[in-house]
Amino acid sequence: MANSKKSIGTLLKASLIILLVGAVVFGVGTALTAWSHKESNFTAQQFTEANAPIEAFSIDVTTRNVDIKYADEFKVDYYNYDQSAIAVSFSGGELIVKEEVTKLPFPWFNLNWDWLKKIDKEKTTVYIYLPESIANRSKITAKTGNISVSDINFSQGFDIVSETGNVTLKNIAAAETVNLVSATGNVTLNNIAVTETVNLEFKTGNIKIDGLTSKAFKLKSQTGNFDGKNITAETVAVEVTTGSISADTMTADTVAFKTTTGKISFENLTARITDASTKTGSIDGKFTGAKSEYDITVSTTVGSSNVSNQTVGQGKSIKVKVTTGKITLNFA
């Protein structure tokens, strides 16, 4: 009798599991059906504003990417469709772009379904065309979505704040400071020229740079890898809590690399003062100068170093500290 009751209980549990799985499958199917795209749903839109001095951007998208690039005159091109509508307005020098997304049938499916859209990328991207030179300081704020800015000269600087999404800057010039803050997302910078300082601050994401000139370059990241090439600045400071630092062809008066957990590696480094440290990870670097040019101070708690401390008094110094890891330094 006891075995019979136990069997009935097992069958009831199995039936409930089957019903639950069925409900989930039904819900997903319904949600995806509601999210399906038809060619006839897409309507091309364009926003223009004559003599518009762009001072700031406010961009709020959920499933859209935003691409900002050079053009002879200001305009915004985008598509609206059943599941997503873009509203564009311009007031007091601020360009406002906001996406309204149709909710899916069940709240737990109301996520970013961009990866499910097997449609032309052009129709899910908002394109913003700006004159080559922007007179006033600009700001881009994105809650969710990728941001791309290319071929623009800023008479002043600009600020980008991205909560979730990738940021790409290419062929950008700015006369004042550039600030980029990202909570979650990867950042790519190519051919950037800034008269003053470039400040980058990240929580989670990888940073890749190829071609950057500025008075000062500062990067602080909690989790992610830094890969920087062809960077020229008076001062360079790169700090990564968890992740690696990699640099190739960097020229600066002072360079500071710091990680808590992660490897530091560099090649073709030209600097008067270099300070590199990590708690857990190796440091592997190559300098453009001869070893005899530098005062060298190396320190390892658990690990080894291929160079010894030395003082030559020529005004150049290298300081490398590792708690657990190996130090390998090479010279021209």
Res. 18: pLDDT tops 70: yes
3-class SS of residue 184: strand
Percent of the chain beyond pLDDT 90? 62
More confident residue, 324 or 123: 324
Give the model's pLDDT for residue 67.
Answer: 94
Tokens at 151, concatenated: 């071929």
Average pLDDT over the chain, rounded to whole? 86
Per-residue pLDDT, averaged over 132-161, amounts to: 87
Q: Where does the pLDDT of residue 105 fall: very low under 50, low under 70, confident under 90, or very high at 90 and above?
A: very low
Interval 194-218: pLDDT, tens: 999 999 999 999 999 999 999 999 9
Give the model's pLDDT for residue 32.
Answer: 47
Q: In sequence order, what are the residues at sequence separation of 6 or more whose Cβ sits closer than 8 angstroms to the Cβ of residue 70?
A: 129, 130, 131, 132, 150, 151, 152
Per-residue pLDDT, averaged over 147-152, amounts to: 94
Give the model's pLDDT for residue 208.
Answer: 98
Per-residue pLDDT, averaged over 169-178, amounts to: 96
Give the model's pLDDT for residue 113.
Answer: 46
Per-residue pLDDT, averaged over 252-268, amounts to: 97
b or e along 233-253 (b: 16 or more beta carbons within 10 Å of the residue's beta carbon)?
bebbbbbbeebbbbbbbbbbe
Interval 209-242: pLDDT, tens: 999 999 999 999 999 999 999 999 999 999 999 9
Res. 273: pLDDT tops 80: yes
Res. 73: pLDDT tops 80: yes
Integer Cα distance of 92 and 88 in angstroms: 14
What is the pTM for the complete model shown? 0.81
Q: Where does the pLDDT of residue 8 fall: very low under 50, low under 70, confident under 90, or very high at 90 and above?
A: low
Give the model's pLDDT for residue 132.
Answer: 75
Give the model's pLDDT for residue 4.
Answer: 56
Amino acid at 209: I
Res. 294: pLDDT tops 60: yes
Q: Where does the pLDDT of residue 145 fall: very low under 50, low under 70, confident under 90, or very high at 90 and above?
A: confident
Query: Which of 39-48, 106-115, 176-185 is least confident?
Result: 106-115
Burial class for 46, CB neighbours closer than 10 Å (0-12, 13-18, 19+): exposed
Question: Would strands 94-101 and 147-154 be described as parallel, antiparallel, or unpaired?
Answer: unpaired
Q: Where does the pLDDT of residue 313 fall: very low under 50, low under 70, confident under 90, or very high at 90 and above?
A: very high
Give the model's pLDDT for residue 91.
Answer: 83
Res. 134: pLDDT tops 50: yes
3-class SS of residue 313: coil
Integer Cα distance of 310 and 298 in angstroms: 9
Q: Where does the pLDDT of residue 52 fall: very low under 50, low under 70, confident under 90, or very high at 90 and above?
A: low
Res. 106: pLDDT tops 70: no
